[in-house]
Amino acid sequence: MQVRALKSGCVPIYNNLFLAPMAGFTDYAFRSVITPMSVGLAFTELTSAKGLYYGGKNNEKLLKTDDYDRTAAQIFGREPYFMRWACESEYLKYYKIVDINMGCPVPKIVKNGEGSALLADIKLAESIIKECVKSGKVITVKIRSGIKAGDDIAAEFAKMAEGAGASLITVHGRVREAYYSGEVDFNAIARAKRAVNIPVIANGGIFTEKDADIMMERTGADGVMIARGAIANPFIFSEISGEEITGDITTVKDFAIQHLKKEAEMSGDKRAAIEFRKFVNYYFKRVENSKTYRAEIMQSVSAEETERLLRKYL
């Protein structure tokens, strides 16, 4: 694929390779290590607008970053008032781009009428986008191709979002009921791209450089957003961009250890070991006969011990 710079509204974006927001995975620790490795734009974990309003726990942790030029805040909710309030709040004061999640398929989000549930209420979704745009932030939107098999609403929704003032839209080429599996609907993304003049980013099923090439070829999108593929292979962005990796991180072991250290700085020694466990299967994916190694790391109760095991086995 052609890797190039983009603009979202008036905000320049380093390149068209985006890191997807993934709850529980793309926290500050992970993003701070992977973003310098050719990521054009990363997104915080989705954060509740109403939670920000009422001062919910972990807000500062969810929205922590030290790179506002390459990080967008992602928020979710269904009340236009709270969504605009969040955009204008001190929590998002330094963020130039705010992304509205209208694609999350998780039941606890959907049952509240948030995330991908908004795909079924285009008028409400339009009101939310319009209110957020009034905040003065550059507003982007992430959607899915529909809610159930056979839906064909991505183009209509993208056109609405553009008309409401959104500066960029990301389309995950799967319906809500498919969650994260099944074939990606390239045609749905392509139709959305043809329907608007703002940049369209294609998301879903990208695990290799070849996958990114196919996605761009089949959809005509302006860029790609990579999710689980970035956890399984944190070098995927630099592989696609062709940029040389500088610094000390040249192997998955290097990356994993640096990630763990960042997590320890943020969460403390014991908590870091627990948080890191969800990444272990990904980092050991290419290590043969790693079941015993992974099991041992999963039992670790300190970042120090986890690091020792990573150096030994990875």
Owning domain of residue 278: 252-313
Contact 255, 286 (CB under 8 A): no
- Residue 247: inside a domain: no
Are 262 and 209 contained in the same domain? no
Task: List the one residue out of 247, 294, 302 whose CA is nearest residue 271.
Answer: 302
Are 64 and 92 contained in the same domain? yes
Residue 245 pLDDT greater than 90, yes or no: no
Are 198 and 309 contained in the same domain? no
Task: List the one residue out of 137, 129, 142, 209 whose CA is nearest residue 174.
Answer: 142
Q: Is the dihedral of CA 118, 121, 122, 126 positive or negative?
A: negative
Distance CA 21, CA 98 (A): 12
For the chain, helix, strand, coil in percent to 5 are 45, 15, 35
DSSP code of residue 114: -
> Which domain CATH number covers 298?
1.10.1200
Distance CA 133, CA 129 (A): 6
- Please calculate the CA angle 267-105-162 and round it to the nearest 5 degrees: 100
* Confidence (pLDDT) at 248: 87
β-bridge partners, 226: 19
Are 183 and 221 contained in the same domain? yes
Contact 39, 18 (CB under 8 A): yes
Summarize pLDDT for 281-290 with one digit per residue, the tens. Answer: 999 998 999 9
Residue 247 pLDDT greater than 90, yes or no: no
* Percentage of the chain modeled with pLDDT above 90: 94
DSSP H helices in the chain: 28-34, 49-53, 59-62, 80-88, 107-110, 122-133, 154-164, 186-195, 209-219, 228-232, 236-241, 252-267, 269-283, 291-298, 303-313
Are 266 and 157 contained in the same domain? no
* Confidence (pLDDT) at 246: 81
Summarize pLDDT for 130-145 with one digit per residue, the tens. Answer: 999 999 999 999 999 9
pTM recorded for the entire structure: 0.96
* Confidence (pLDDT) at 283: 96
Domain count across the chain:
2
Contact 279, 260 (CB under 8 A): no
Active site residues: 104
Are 285 and 227 contained in the same domain? no
Which of 185, 216, 241 lies at the terminal end of a domain, its last residue?
241
- Which pLDDT band holds residue 99 (cuts at 50, 70, 90)? very high
Are 256 and 213 contained in the same domain? no
Summarize pLDDT for 137-187 with one digit per residue, the tens. Answer: 999 999 999 999 988 899 999 999 999 999 999 999 999 999 999 999 999
Stretch 100-120: mean pLDDT, rounded? 97
Are 234 and 261 contained in the same domain? no
* Confidence (pLDDT) at 21: 96
* Confidence (pLDDT) at 86: 98
* Confidence (pLDDT) at 57: 81
End-to-end CA distance of the chain: 31
Task: List the one residue out of 205, 199, 167 whose CA is nearest residue 186.
Answer: 205
Summarize pLDDT for 14-70 with one digit per residue, the tens. Answer: 999 999 999 999 999 999 999 999 999 999 999 999 999 999 788 889 999 999 999
* Confidence (pLDDT) at 16: 98
- Residue 197: inside a domain: yes
